[in-house]
Structure 1
Amino acid sequence: MLGHSFVQFADNIMVGQLGTAELAAVSLGNSFVFIAMSLGIGFSTAITPLVAEADGAGNVGAGKSALKHGLLLCTLMGISLFGIILLAKPLMYLMKQPPEVVELAMPYLDLVAFSLVPLIIFQAFKQFSEGLSQTKYPMYATVIANFVNILLNYLLIFGSWGFPKMGIVGAAWGTLISRIVMVLFLWVLLKKKKKFHDYITGLNFRIIEKKVMRKIIDLGFPSALQMFFEVAIFTAAVWLSGVLGKNSQAANQIALNLSSMTFMVGMGLGVAAMIRVGNQKGLMNFKELRRIAQSIFLLTFVLEVIFAVSFVVLNDFLPTIYLDLGDANNLSDNVEVIKMAAELILVAAVFQISDGLQVVVLGALRGLQDVRIPTMITFVAYWIIGFPISFYLGLYTPLQSTGIWIGLLSGLTASAIMLYIRFNYLTKKLIAQKALQEID
């Protein structure tokens, strides 16, 4: 999961050397892509608990069916999301964003939007592999993709080694090509491994079962909405920052990119919770399921606290990674952005604890295949609680960007608390039901 964020991290650092307008343009373009990506990645997570449950029960046929139908649906999802983004591009002109930022973002968005197709196909293979508790192979693919992305960024953003100097469009090409490499690498890797042979070979897409499609959609659609509600509020933060100006938007992008990397650690642990809970659900061992999940929650809390302390200690230094203080032409803008980003990082230090906890509890609930109530919880937390606070504090108080992030903190904290209450209720209920069955 961290590999996905490192692609954006590399893009932001390298594009940041061009100026704050370019960094803000990447932020604006990615805000559209992140919304679509959240739907695709969220939908693909339906594959993991189905495969994990099948693996726990020793049912290879069910796991293979989940992969085949999930892969088909994810491919269709990727193509559809690409088309929707192209249709939504004119909205940029209606969002009160800085005109120079919009002009830079338009060509960047075309290529990055198309990269969603290979990314979401990759997600299908990734979620399948993780359902079999094999998390290292998707990791290898993301590491390779990051090397490809950084190399192509260097060549195409700055025109190194005789390549054309393409600016942020070069970063978009790097992202697209690296994601194509990522999916091809993982496909070849899985085909060669004995563990996956019976699942990967002989996939017949001419025979499609409505029952399996419906089950994946029933699990995947609410999971997609859960991720959408969270990503959408962060995207709203990008747009609200854009109303405040390009420097606010650039500062927001820096803090968002840093916090997204620590969030991905929590998200990875959320995948671990989903896999292990799915395994124990297949075994009908609910006491062990609860113990494992709570252990992962505790581990996540400890790690996120460590990250929070690091953010507090390094809040003045971290923004300087993204911008060139030796650039005399943009010095005043760069200094202002760094100061604003340092303040946002202090808020991010606190909210990432809530962010990590809510995503790992959400993973455990997905492992239980409980998705509808958590979807309602995330909507209430982010859009009934978090967004109004962000909107008011950001646009109508002197807090401005910091106020936007206080709203994010409020939404994430509410989500973490309500999701844990849901998990606690469900697991106690399952344990009690199992105990009654054993007595009977």
Structure 2
Amino acid sequence: MFNLTMRPLIKTEIREFLKIAVPLASAQVAQSATGFFDTVMMGRMGADVLAAGGLAAIIFLVVMTTATGMVMGASPLIAEAFGAGQKTQIQQIARQGLWLAGLVAIPVMIVMGHFDRWMIHAGQPEATVRLAGTYLDIILWGMFPVVGFATLRATVSALSHARPVMTIMVTGTAFNIVGNYILGFGKFGFPQMGLAGLAVASVIAQWGMFVALALHILVHPKLKDYHIFQELHRLRPRVLWQLVWVGVPIGIFSGLEAGFFMVIMFWMGTLGTEALAAHQIVLQTIVIIFMVPLGISYATTVRVGQWLGRRDVAGIQRAAGVSIIISTAFMMIVSTAVLLFPRQVIGIYLDLQDPDNTAVIALALPLLVIAAIAQILDGFQKAVYGSLQGLQDTQVPMMVNVFVYWGFGLSVAYVLCFPLGMGGRGLWIGQSVTIAVAAGLFIWRLRHLLLRRQLRCS
């Protein structure tokens, strides 16, 4: 499928790919560090806070992932226009992307404000819902800057200017972590706000990152020539529809994928507070690791999209092949490390010597082993999906997602957990099988599209 015999071209592709992938992956890891430190701080506040905070965090993750995914159509569209040298098209897509960000954020904020009722109906303990609801009622005010930042990030990345994204996100994350500590535990004269403090610090950081990236675009010598923030009052339905057509399936895909894991977390919550806390430890660990292939997938979308704009099928193949190899190799290395040192990983979150944590640790260990193995396939899957996005093939993967995750995956996880009595291990095995099936279908789809383009060009 991938022609890897032309070494100079491959070396060039690796170099250009890493110029985008390293900053984006670093930015994603930095952003996930907020969730990591949040989890550590929640664990120090008690198992009940860890359970409630983990529940609120996964809900916000699902909503945020869906909302930001809906504006991610800007990335392949701008990358294609950049590859084709169409400056006017780049300007219009970026501006309409900001329109779409606003249109997405407002209804999402309204929905988030009513999640507490849904959590009660889902069978979560009232005390857990009360704590989680407090967090969500505050964090929803950061939704617009999160979606707006995603739009601007997609724009500058597609123009091969990814490094500022890393700098801004690393700085914003550092501020967020410090703010979480100060407001969460009441340091330096501030009141002790607990989970509410973590949410307030996050909202401030999200607005700061959005404004910082906007200012960077306004002053950068090359980026300011695109005049992205001029004529924002002009609504262009045709361009907006292009963004919706490509981006909304990405948002639905991302939301369904994250929603799948949220359902798993709800089912885990029915097994008890210890099971939910163990699940949160493993999930947060995997989320941090997964940020690297996620950043790689963003870079893949850009590189494949740029080659698509040049109508170069061989370039598309090289970009996809380089991405898949790098992403899978990275996940194999990290997963091996997790398998070798599982107790040390859990010790980051909990005191291993505290007798009160014995039950949570015993539940978390087998889950971490299962999750580490599954992440190798997940890294492969994400790279392939990034290639499909670059080809602007988003509708078919969305439908595959509905079938695999919400049809097949949830059924397998439920049966293993409850009727077969495997508990949390059954849920994580079900997740792993789901990822494997999705990876197989996505690589089949990518091979099909590349073969079709080869035949068209021959």
Aligned partner (choices 401, 418, 437) of residue 395 of structure 1: 418
What whole-Å deviation, never above 9, does each CA across 1:266-295 have from its counterpart, x for those lacking one? 111111110110011000000121122112
CA contact (8 A) 1:60 1:198 kept: no
CA contact (8 A) 2:116 2:130 kept: no
Aligned partner (choices 253, 270, 290) of residue 280 of structure 2: 253
CA distance 1:266–1:202, shift in 2 (3 Å): closer
Cα drift, residue 418 of structure 1 = 0.3
Cα drift, residue 155 of structure 1 = 0.8
> How far apart in 2 are the matches of 1:239 and 1:200?
46
Asked if 1:91 corresponds to 2:118, the answer is: yes
What whole-Å deviation, never above 9, does each CA across 1:335-369 have from its counterpart, x for those lacking one? 21122122111011111111111111111111101
Aligned partner (choices 49, 54, 66) of residue 76 of structure 2: 49
> How far apart in 1 are the matches of 2:306 and 2:97?
19
Asked if 1:428 corresponds to 2:441, the answer is: no
Letter aligned with residue 388 of structure 2: L
Letter aligned with residue 285 of structure 1: D
**TM alignment of 1:60-79, pairs within 5 A:** 60-79=87-106
Give the alignment's Cα RMSD to 1 decimal: 1.4
Cα drift, residue 14 of structure 1 = 1.1
CA distance 1:161–1:325, shift in 2 (3 Å): farther
> How far apart in 1 are the matches of 2:252 and 2:350?
34
CA contact (8 A) 1:15 1:157 kept: no
Aligned partner (choices 383, 386, 390) of residue 406 of structure 2: 383
CA contact (8 A) 2:135 2:195 kept: yes
CA contact (8 A) 1:44 1:120 kept: yes
> How far apart in 2 are the matches of 1:325 and 1:99?
29
Aligned partner (choices 428, 432, 435) of residue 412 of structure 1: 435
**SS of 1:244 mapped into structure 2:** coil
> How far apart in 2 are the matches of 1:177 and 1:383?
35
> How far apart in 2 are the matches of 1:236 and 1:201?
39
**SS of 1:208 mapped into structure 2:** coil
Letter aligned with residue 13 of structure 1: V
**TM alignment of 1:284-303, pairs within 5 A:** 284-303=311-330
Asked if 1:107 corresponds to 2:130, the answer is: no
> How far apart in 1 are the matches of 2:391 and 2:38?
36
> How far apart in 2 are the matches of 1:284 and 1:277?
10
Q: Structure 2 length as normaliser, TM-score? A: 0.91
Asked if 1:141 corresponds to 2:173, the answer is: no
**SS of 1:284 mapped into structure 2:** coil
What does residue 304 of structure 1 align with? 331
Asked if 1:341 corresponds to 2:364, the answer is: yes
> How far apart in 1 are the matches of 2:410 and 2:140?
26
> How far apart in 1 are the matches of 2:47 and 2:138?
21
> How far apart in 2 are the matches of 1:65 and 1:202?
10
What does residue 40 of structure 1 align with? 67
CA contact (8 A) 2:79 2:159 kept: yes
- Consecutive unaligned residues in structure 2, runs of 5 or more: 1-27
Aligned residues: 431
Letter aligned with residue 269 of structure 1: I
What does residue 22 of structure 1 align with? 49
CA distance 1:226–1:276, shift in 2 (3 Å): same
Letter aligned with residue 96 of structure 1: G
Asked if 1:232 corresponds to 2:259, the answer is: yes
What does residue 158 of structure 1 align with? 185
Letter aligned with residue 41 of structure 1: T
What does residue 16 of structure 2 align with? none
What whole-Å deviation, never above 9, does each CA across 1:180-205 have from its counterpart, x for those lacking one? 11111111122221121122455212
Cα drift, residue 323 of structure 1 = 2.3
Aligned partner (choices 305, 309, 329) of residue 282 of structure 1: 309
> How far apart in 2 are the matches of 1:176 and 1:426?
41
What does residue 438 of structure 1 align with? none
> How far apart in 2 are the matches of 1:77 and 1:202?
19
> How far apart in 1 are the matches of 2:58 and 2:419?
23
**SS of 2:191 mapped into structure 1:** coil
What does residue 212 of structure 1 align with? 239
> How far apart in 1 are the matches of 2:361 and 2:139?
26
- Consecutive unaligned residues in structure 1, runs of 5 or more: 436-440
CA contact (8 A) 1:44 1:220 kept: yes
Cα drift, residue 398 of structure 1 = 3.2
Instruction: State, as a whole percentage, how many aligned pairs show the same letter.
Output: 29
What does residue 198 of structure 1 align with? 225
CA contact (8 A) 1:53 1:278 kept: yes
Cα drift, residue 326 of structure 1 = 6.7
Asked if 1:374 corresponds to 2:383, the answer is: no
Asked if 1:131 corresponds to 2:158, the answer is: yes
Letter aligned with residue 40 of structure 1: A
**SS of 1:120 mapped into structure 2:** helix
Cα drift, residue 212 of structure 1 = 0.4
Of the structure 1 ranges 132-141 and 400-409, higher mean CA displacement relative to structure 2 is found in 132-141
